[in-house]
Amino acid sequence: MLDDIIDVVIDPNLDSYAKFFDHDWAKKVFELVENSPLKAAIESLLVSWRSTDGAHQLPWLMVQSMKNLVDGEYKGIIGIRAGYLEQILKGIVNKLETRMHHNLNHEQRMGLKRVVTKIEKEEFQSLKTAEFQVKLDATAYWNFFTHTPDFPFCLLGLQGSNYNSLFFAYEDFLAHTIKSREPNYTSKKDPIKDAFARHFGQLLRDYCWTNAEVELAMLVRHALAHNGGRFGTALEKHKTRFVDHQTVPAIPILRGDLFIIVDGKIHITPCNTKHLFGILKERVTKIIEELA
């Protein structure tokens, strides 16, 4: 019944669900904070972000794992058959001779082996050239799932959770950065906006917290977590970043900087999540370069 009353917009491109976490960047950041009071904050942030990336990849991993299973089964058959070909042929010839009423002479045995070898090689070659018949069509497999009634809802829920998770972890990182100067700090009594500026200056605070991109992400997080994903009045000043799928013919599904509205609610896409990761990564880098 939900399928009839709720229109779910998802990104149908499988590659959109591939990993976004930047391992090279993470390695560099770890090196920069090795002897810094920010080390614990960075460790917590990157573990959370990598876990979010893992959840983001689940659809892609599902298809890739099945593809690897099918391809691996074929390659395994080919490998085993090639490795034991000589033993197989010898066993066939011996069994044929044993089951015959009289022993074959040497010339007959050699002739039999040549015939069996030829047959086996022909069959082996047929198996190899039929590789395309056993390879999984990843695109078709993915399309099957995206048109399965429950699957779009899985993607919708997963992407919303991933977006929130990225921002929650970033907010926690900023709070723990403040704690490196003020151990008993809590954002419940002292907003990040004020505490961060007090300890690290207004310029860095503006770039990392009150910047328009970060503010937009925070408001989207609020909408998803506290307002059922609805586009509320707080987002009006950012309305140029939202597209209603009922009024725009071509939905910008691959534009991570734009959000899609469906029946008044925000539908997060994989590209939104990737875009947010890029925005927040830049700010974490700035903090580490200036404070570590």
Residue 65 has pLDDT above 90, yes or no: no
Query: How many Å apart are CA 178 and CA 180, to the nearest integer?
Result: 5
At 176 the pLDDT is 96
Averaged over 60-69, what is the pLDDT? 80
* DSSP-assigned beta bridge partners for residue 261: 244, 266
Residue 116 has pLDDT above 80, yes or no: no
**50 Cβ partners below 8 Å, 6+ apart?**
21, 26
Mean pLDDT of the chain: 85
Query: How many Å apart are CA 292 and CA 287, to the nearest integer?
Result: 8
Least confident of 1-5, 66-70, 117-121: 1-5
At 103 the pLDDT is 65
**214 Cβ partners below 8 Å, 6+ apart?**
208, 279, 280, 283
pLDDT digits (tens, 9 = 90+) for 203-225: 999 999 999 999 999 999 999 99
At 183 the pLDDT is 93
Residue 82 has pLDDT above 90, yes or no: no
Averaged over 57-80, what is the pLDDT? 71
> Nearest CA to 57 among 5, 20, 25?
20
At 5 the pLDDT is 47
pLDDT digits (tens, 9 = 90+) for 225-284: 999 999 999 999 999 999 998 887 677 888 999 999 999 999 999 999 999 999 999 999
The better pLDDT of the pair 12, 6 is held by 12
